[in-house]
Structure 1
Amino acid sequence: MRHECIQSTPCWRKGGERHDCAFIVEDQDLLGFKGMSVVRVQLLFSFIHDSTTIPCAFVEWFQQYSQRPDPDTGMWIVRPETSGHHDTPVLSVIHLDSLLWLAHLLPIFASTSLPYNFSHVDSLDAFRAFYINKYIDHHTFELLSLE
């Protein structure tokens, strides 16, 4: 198995921000994506408590759009999870051990037209729903194909 680096930085290669998305395990008893969620890592940090370093991530949550993958693509659909009437994103701090693997999200364009100067760094903020790309690598395909 290869090693993956989850990154979150305000400036990536002299360009815009980079905040990777990742799978988080919520229920180990459920197979595949049914026991997982997707988060966007906003900040990586750690703190020391009783001489123990605790690595954490400040994350923005995505929620499943349905109980099954999309019948046309075979990919799960997620959308940013919000609370309240003002579409406030759901944010929390999690232990780094909860993160399993990088998640690659593909925007669902629908009838959305993009401005000429649209930047890829704005994709996760500009769209309302995303496919989870299970074809990005072998490990992700196997992870999302479990039922």
Structure 2
Amino acid sequence: MLNYIDILRVMAESKNSEFEFQLYSENTERGLSKTELAPLHGYVAKGSVQAKLKEDHKASFPIQELMKSEWETIAYFSKDGEVICQRESYGSPMIALKPELFKQGAYSKMVEESFKSFRTGREILVPEMSEATASSIVKEFNEWKQKEKSE
């Protein structure tokens, strides 16, 4: 089961990808259907944090705000044309179809916790690390640097 933070993390880690999504229709929200989708198709362009509509390019919303307010009505997300997560029907949980995309390593978790604490002004208590944890953090950091250099 995913939450909107998981999707935002994948978007942040995949800035060179385009994401698409679709909302459930008003009929579905009112209980007249379980799976009817809205006729509008949303997307987030490569390198952007703005959600737009394919049918109306002038409409633009910050993806973070859209995710917070409309999370329960989003039917699916795709990355570069491939569906990565979806709901079976309105009201059901968002399920990862590509679970490897949503796995968070020790390094990215540490960075995310640092950002959260910076934003909220809270201190982070860092537990003592085992050699395996430290090795995992360094390995993931090196993979991230290599990926950044190749893009």
Report TM bin, short chain.
0.3 to 0.5
The higher radius of gyration belongs to 2
Q: TM-score when scaled to structure 1?
A: 0.33
